[in-house]
Amino acid sequence: MPGGAVIGTVDTGRIEAPVTAKAYMMCAFSAFGGIFFGFDSGYISGVMGMPYFVHLYTGLPYPPTTSSALFTLSSSDKSLITSILSAGTFFGAIAAGDIADFIGRRTTVIIGCIVFIIGVILQTASTTLGLLVAGRLIAGIGVGFVSAIIILYMSEVAPKKVRGAIVSGYQFCITIGILLASCVDYATQNRLDTGSYRIPIGIQMAWALILGTGLFLLPESPRYFVKKGKLDKAVEVTARLRGQPRDSVYVQQEVAEIVANHEYELQVTPQGSYFNSWIVCFKGSLRDPGSNLRRTILGTSLQMMQQWTGVNFIFYFGTTFFQALNTISNPFLIGLITTLVNVCSTPISFWTVEKFGRRPLLIWGALGMVVCQFIVAIIGTVTNNGTGNPNAVSAMIAFICIYIFFFASTWGPGAWVLIGEIFPLPIRSRGVGLSTASNWLWNCIIAVITPYMVGTDKGNLGAKVFWVWGSLCCCCLAYAYFLVPETKGLSLEQVDRMFEECTPRTSSKWRPHTTYASEMGLTDKGAVQHDVTEVEHKV
Ligand code: BGC
């Protein structure tokens, strides 16, 4: 068998090429995009706590003449610096869907890397708030491109049996990015020169260079070519991705199914003008789980819920939150530990997402988070943020770590896996873009308001803020139970059919019983070849 060792085999519904080691490597490489998503959102928490950075950006004298709680950036500056990245990513992700349909998924990610590098250069050069904020905004646009389109690309090129695991690999890279950022922050925190923040910021260029260069060598998504009507190209890249010859029955059937599904979707909801093609994302009835409207709401709300879990409170403001707990001697170290827990827990999902499925993962994950957050809230309330009570502080930190464990092994990867799977091809790039934008919008909202809720100069909620996150996690639990469908083990085209035929709560029992290709008479070997001419003709 060309392309390396055989890892997997045939299944229900239709035949899929065995998963080769080479295919794994190709799909898994794009997960690298997660590193700079994670690093970029992760480095800022530590940098905002660095003495030299605080001194330079606030003008406060160093060594501090006030208590450590007052030697800090104002809540409004923290809020602006942190949230501006997410504002950029929001717009980047929305625009990226259209660009990816126009010039291809791969090229869009490469452009995202270039934009990101420009933003990083500005941030590295900055010594004032204005330039830092502008740099983070531009870098954010690049991250928006990459974070939306990498998910789209990975979901479209990965073999269905390992799609969940491969997209979880992206989340794993996000967590590694956050951890690397913490390590670099930890190493440079005490420097009394601009290297303290310039090193963590500048290092990010390496991630963009690696991702951009690597993607040059990878094939484009076959679904992009089908959408463009270039079926010959679709066959060529599918053959490369699956490690099979072009005329292999696996390749022919896979492309035939994508074509048939695409044509079916276009018949059901024709695209029309540019404006109409956006409207299509919101068409259909709210009652119908398979309507585009329901799927767009599902994707965007799923990412909103992922942010409502409150995880970024820890990753964005962890260092300053732990600093405010006074009793802790090394808040940077605790921040580092939380990111380590995040990294180590994510790989569990590679197995569980395929073994138990997406739905149970989100339901049990939300339950675990609710319990941990309410425990932290209770301890924090009863002991007045653990003041003078090291045991209470240790217990809070322990439950925060368990809460991160639940997030990292469930909602962290789960939300990304699902948004890559739930949209039909005609609206997939926009759907994924909108959902990613929703992630960043809520990420931004939380980054803006949290400093005001917990800042010692503002709401001063301290650990009581976990009442808020715990309550929001209750919403995540109900949401997962009532609205999240099971997509495990299905091809993207089968997911499409599943949406039409059942509700989220009955979805795990649904099995594929027919294919679009067989319904449209495209299952014979050679049928795609015939269809190439047909579709090219139509386009
Ligand atoms: C979330 C990020 C978060 C990260 C933590 C991602 O899935 O979208 O907002 O910072 O997980 O690992």
User: What local confidence, expressed as pLDDT, does residue 326 receive?
Assistant: 63
- SS3 of 254-306: the string is HHHHHHHHHHHHHHHCCCCCHHHHHHHHHCCCCCCCCCHHHHHHHHHHHHHHH
* 429 pLDDT higher than 70: yes
Whether 412 lines ligand 1, by a CB cut-off of 6 Å, is yes
Q: Give the nearest ligand 1 atom to 443 CA.
A: 9
pLDDT band at 539 (very low <50, low <70, confident <90, very high): very low
* 8 pLDDT higher than 50: no
Q: What percent of the chain has pLDDT over 90?
A: 52
In angstroms, what CA-CA distances link 512 with 128, 356, 489, 506, 509? 58, 18, 10, 14, 10
Q: Which domain holds residue 81?
A: 21-222+284-483
User: What local confidence, expressed as pLDDT, does residue 206 receive?
Assistant: 93
- Give me the amino acid identity at 289: P
User: What local confidence, expressed as pLDDT, does residue 531 receive?
Assistant: 45
Residue nearest ligand 1's atom 12 by CA = 175
Whether 80 lines ligand 1, by a CB cut-off of 6 Å, is no
Whether 45 lines ligand 1, by a CB cut-off of 6 Å, is no
Whether 345 lines ligand 1, by a CB cut-off of 6 Å, is no
Tell me the β-bridge partners of 459: none
* 537 pLDDT higher than 60: no
* 9 pLDDT higher than 70: no
Q: Give the nearest ligand 1 atom to 342 CA.
A: 12
Higher pLDDT, 318 or 130: 130
* 17 pLDDT higher than 80: no
Per the domain annotation, does 12 fall within a domain?
no
Number of structural domains the chain divides into:
1
Looking at residue 299, which CATH number applies to its domain? Answer: 1.20.1250.20
Is the peptide bond prior to 63 cis by the omega test (within 30 degrees of 0)? Answer: yes
Cβ neighbours of residue 259 closer than 8 Å, sequence gap 6 or more: 226, 231, 234, 517, 522, 528, 531, 535
Per the domain annotation, does 519 fall within a domain?
no
Overall average pLDDT of the 178-186 stretch: 90
For 438-479, write each residue's pLDDT tens digit.
Answer: 998 998 898 888 888 887 777 778 889 999 999 999 999 999
Overall average pLDDT of the 44-65 stretch: 86
Whether 244 lines ligand 1, by a CB cut-off of 6 Å, is no
pLDDT band at 521 (very low <50, low <70, confident <90, very high): low
Query: CA-CA-CA-CA torsion for 160, 166, 171, 174, nearest 10 degrees?
Result: -140
- Give me the amino acid identity at 352: T
Per the domain annotation, does 238 fall within a domain?
no
Please tell me which of 108-117, 254-263, 325-334 the model is most confident about, judged by mean pLDDT: 108-117
Cβ neighbours of residue 52 closer than 8 Å, sequence gap 6 or more: 62, 191, 192, 193, 194, 196, 197
Whether 41 lines ligand 1, by a CB cut-off of 6 Å, is yes
Residue nearest ligand 1's atom 3 by CA = 312
Least confidently predicted of 122-126, 207-211, 517-521: 517-521
Overall average pLDDT of the 510-521 stretch: 77
User: What local confidence, expressed as pLDDT, does residue 37 receive?
Assistant: 84
Ligand 1 centroid–CA 249 distance in Å is: 39
Whether 167 lines ligand 1, by a CB cut-off of 6 Å, is no
Q: Give the nearest ligand 1 atom to 175 CA.
A: 12
User: What local confidence, expressed as pLDDT, does residue 307 receive?
Assistant: 96
User: What local confidence, expressed as pLDDT, does residue 173 receive?
Assistant: 94
Let me know: does 479 contact 471? Beta carbons within 8 Å: no
Residue nearest ligand 1's atom 10 by CA = 312
In angstroms, what CA-CA distances link 109 with 127, 148, 247, 271, 359? 29, 9, 30, 25, 29
Per the domain annotation, does 210 fall within a domain?
yes
Q: Give the nearest ligand 1 atom to 315 CA.
A: 10
* 403 pLDDT higher than 90: yes
User: What local confidence, expressed as pLDDT, does residue 384 receive?
Assistant: 86
Whether 253 lines ligand 1, by a CB cut-off of 6 Å, is no
If you ran DSSP here, which 8-state letter would residue 524 be given? S
User: What local confidence, expressed as pLDDT, does residue 40 receive?
Assistant: 83
Whether 174 lines ligand 1, by a CB cut-off of 6 Å, is yes
- Is the CA virtual torsion 152, 156, 158, 163 positive or negative? positive
Residue nearest ligand 1's atom 5 by CA = 175
User: What local confidence, expressed as pLDDT, does residue 271 receive?
Assistant: 66
Higher pLDDT, 70 or 539: 70
Number of neighbours of residue 333 by Cβ within 10 angstroms: 13
* 529 pLDDT higher than 50: no
pLDDT band at 25 (very low <50, low <70, confident <90, very high): confident
- The CA-to-CA distance between both ends of the chain, in Å, stands at 35
Whether 89 lines ligand 1, by a CB cut-off of 6 Å, is no
For 84-125, write each residue's pLDDT tens digit.
Answer: 988 899 999 999 999 999 999 999 999 999 999 999 999 999
Whether 409 lines ligand 1, by a CB cut-off of 6 Å, is no
* Average pLDDT across the chain, whole number: 86
* 365 pLDDT higher than 50: yes
Q: What are phi and psi of 348, to 5 degrees?
A: -55, -35
Per the domain annotation, does 26 fall within a domain?
yes
Number of neighbours of residue 479 by Cβ within 10 angstroms: 19
Whether 252 lines ligand 1, by a CB cut-off of 6 Å, is no
Whether 323 lines ligand 1, by a CB cut-off of 6 Å, is no
